[in-house]
A and B are shown apart, each in its own frame.
Chain A
Amino acid sequence: EVQLVESGGGLVKPGGSLRLSCVASGFTFSSSSINWVRQAPGEGLEWVSSISSKNYKYYADSVKGRFTISRDNAKNSLYLQMNSLRVEDTAVYYCARASEWYYMDVWGKGTTVTVSS
């Protein structure tokens, strides 16, 4: 079964750090581009970051300089290192595979990040 499973969410104080993980199964992870997409409570979807199969990395302006995306193909894993967290980073964070048509065809169930003092 093609699957993505996120973990690592939790409660953190403003200014703190958190590392999210996303483990893939059922497909060739190393050949895939993967995205992080977040959704704040009651709000819409926001693209956060993506990493290509060739390790090119892209970030939304809202997280540039604070978040770092990385991958470990040997572990079929994607990561998002989040530093200098702000209250407005509070959201459910999804990892999502990019298809050959560049839409997101496989999504995880999400992991919740809460930034609060």
Chain B
Amino acid sequence: QSVLTQPPSVSGAPGQRVTISCTGSSSNIGAGFDVHWYQQLPGTAPKVFIYGNSNRPSGVPDRFSGSKSGTSASLAITGLQAEDEADYYCQSYDRSLSGSVFGGGTKLTVL
């Protein structure tokens, strides 16, 4: 059971918008710690797509955006493309555990 909760799967047609939620608690997201999002393609290491709740590293399309409110965060992807099909993970810090915590991951399927 992951400390951060994500839906196991989401899907959307090309061009559509999807969101992936990440729910934590008062010891992690709710305590003010930043949320980061990673994309993982099959057989490869994760790659950060959003850092500090809403910042995009260079090279990440502006179709990807992040937000945070209270004990939750969201990753939104607009104008879905086939290449967006991957697993997405949220990550934050938990002060009770004194370490990083990940969500269980969400598999995005582009229909």
Binding site for B on A (CB under 8 A): 35, 37, 44-47, 49-50, 58-61, 94, 96, 99, 101-105, 107-110
Known: A104-B46, A104-B91. A99 touches B51 (CB 8 A): yes
B55 — nearest CB in chain A belongs to which residue? A101
Least CB distance, A101 to chain B, in whole angstroms: 5
Least CB distance, A109 to chain B, in whole angstroms: 6
B45 — nearest CB in chain A belongs to which residue? A107
Given the complex, which residues of A lie within 8 Å of B44, measured CB to CB?
Answer: 109
Given the complex, which residues of B lie within 8 Å of A44, measured CB to CB?
Answer: 2, 87, 89, 102-105
Q: How far is the CA of A35 from the CA of B98 in the complex (A)?
A: 13
Is the CB of B93 closer than 8 A to any CB of chain A?
Answer: yes
Provide a sorted-by-A list of 10 A–B residue pairs whose CB atoms are within 8 angstroms. A37-B100, A45-B38, A45-B89, A50-B99, A58-B99, A99-B51, A103-B51, A104-B36, A107-B46, A109-B44
Given the complex, which residues of B lie within 8 Å of A50, measured CB to CB?
Answer: 99-100
Q: How far is the CA of A49 from the CA of B97 in the complex (A)?
A: 11
Is the CB of B61 closer than 8 A to any CB of chain A?
Answer: no
Q: How far is the CA of A48 from the CA of B91 in the complex (A)?
A: 13
B53 — nearest CB in chain A belongs to which residue? A101
Known: A103-B36, A110-B45. A47 touches B89 (CB 8 A): no
B2 — nearest CB in chain A belongs to which residue? A44
Least CB distance, B64 to chain A, in whole angstroms: 14
**Could you tell me which residues of chain B, from 26 to 80, have a CB within 8 Å of some CB in chain A?**
34, 36, 38, 40, 44-48, 51-52, 55, 57
Q: How far is the CA of A29 from the CA of B29 in the complex (A)?
A: 29
Tell which of A45, A107, A109 touches B102, judged by Cβ atoms closer than 8 Å: A45
- Is B52 touching A101 in the complex (CB atoms < 8 A)? yes
- Is A60 touching B34 in the complex (CB atoms < 8 A)? no
Tell which of B34, B47, B98, B102 touches A46, judged by Cβ atoms closer than 8 Å: B102
Known: A99-B51, A103-B36, A103-B52. A47 touches B99 (CB 8 A): yes
Is the CB of B86 closer than 8 A to any CB of chain A?
Answer: no
Given the complex, which residues of A lie within 8 Å of B40, measured CB to CB?
Answer: 45
